[in-house]
Structure formats: C-alpha cells, structure tokens
Amino acid sequence: MLNFHCLSKTATLAICLGVVASLSSTLSAEEKKEKPVAAPKGKVHQLFDGKTLKNWKVTDFGGQGDVLVEKGQLILEPGEPITGIHWVGKELPKVNYEISFDAQRVDGNDFFCALTFPVKEKPCSLILGGWGGSLIGLSNINDFDASENDTTDYYSFENEKWYKIRLRVDDKLIRAWIDDQLIAKVDHTENRISIRIEMELSKPVGLATFQTTGAVKNFKMTELKPAKKKVKINQKVKAAK
C-alpha cells in the first residue's frame, strides 16, 4: 500500500507552517465567494437509511476499524490505517448527479472523509482533512493527488462539528462545496481523472477515513438533468427544411 502521507515539498512546507489558507488552488477569491448552485430536484437515491448498512459493504483494506450505525449516523472508526465502505447496491448514475451529506471528524487528526465517486467511466476521490488534518482536494487530477494538484487547498476543520458537503458531477465539471463554499472546480473534459491505488477498493462509490473516526448522515445522491446541447442556427434551418 502506498503511503498517503508522501507529500510534495510544497504541501509539506505548508503544513509545517500551519497554513490553512489556499496555496495552489486555482479557485480565485471571487469564485470561493460564489453562491452555490441551487440544490437539484431530480430523482433521489437515498444512499444511507440511517438504520443499517444496506447496499454497503465494509471495504477490506486490511487493518480497517469497525463501521457502526448509531443514532442515524454512519460511524467509521479508526483503522490501521484506513477504514471504509463501498456501494454494492444497484448501479448508480456515473454523471449528472450530486452527492450530498453531513460529515464530521469525531476524533483524530487526519482525513475523516474520502468520498470516492464516478466521473463517467473514471473514478475520483474528494479528500477532506487529509495529510495532517487540513488538506482538501481531489485525487487524482492529471495523475497528481490531492496534495499536489490544482485543487490542493487547506481548510480548518473542528472535531465534533458537522459540515455540509456537496459534490456535483455534470457533463463538464466536477464541483465540491463545504457549507456552501466552493472548494473545487475542475473541467473533467480537459483533465485526466483517476484515483490513488489505495482507493481502488472504494469504487464505484465509497467512504473512507485514515486513522480517524468519521461520521456521516443525510447521505444521498440526486440526479441532474443533462445540459441542453446548443444547436447552431444553420442546423436549425436544415432541420426545418
């Protein structure tokens, strides 16, 4: 297994200095302040019923901790190093969807949520609180993981605090929000999307934590309407004829 903590020099320096502001994220200050897109109104897939692990399987990372359901919450206890679950229910959409949930780092100081998700036929992961507790980003973009690509950023998470997470994949973009703040925006049609080898076991949709207790609730996927394709004027004329 590869080490999740093999950092680029830039990311290592940032964490050593205690930096929680963005270093290499391509999001501008204006983009981070953008109002989030409206919540989708399409077909809803309830991914977690609040009572059982129905449609999920505990991922055999080796050394994984317990996965519990308590008080409507999905609890992933610390592993050595990774604990996770992956979807084994009916096939879910691979594009034009939004995944939303509330997430909390209950205890620990590393990533409390690695959400693996499909981008058409390619997998990707959203990392929250990795590499020492504050790193966020997508793994992988153009073969670089969340610690060293254009989505690399830092966020000050508090233990035992709930954060509202949204992850949206449409025909062109991957976007993610924490509490309505845009944290990632990538054109997947112009960038290579892949996944770290450790997270291969989390496909097609999965959650994981690293030596940390994480909790999730209100976990669902909502389908989006595909964007309407633009038709050139001369095409409309030919169609009319």
Residue 45 lies in a domain: yes
39-91: per-residue pLDDT in tens?
Answer: 888 999 999 999 999 999 999 999 999 999 999 999 999 999 999 999 999 99
Residue 4 lies in a domain: no
Residue 58 lies in a domain: yes
C-beta of residue 147 within 8 angstroms of C-beta of residue 135: yes
Lowest-pLDDT range of 33-42, 81-90, 197-206 = 33-42
Which CATH number does the domain housing residue 137 bear? Answer: 2.60.120.560
Task: Give CA–CA dist 229/127, Å, rounded.
Answer: 32
Domain that holds residue 109: 9-240
Task: Give CA–CA dist 203/39, Å, rounded.
Answer: 25
Residue 41 lies in a domain: yes
pTM of the model: 0.84
Residue 2 lies in a domain: no
Q: What's the rounded mean pLDDT across residues 199-221?
A: 98
**224: which 2 tokens?**
């989006």
- How many domains does the structure of the chain reveal? 1
- Residues pairing with 117 in the sheet: 124
Residue 221 lies in a domain: yes
- Residues pairing with 216 in the sheet: 74, 103
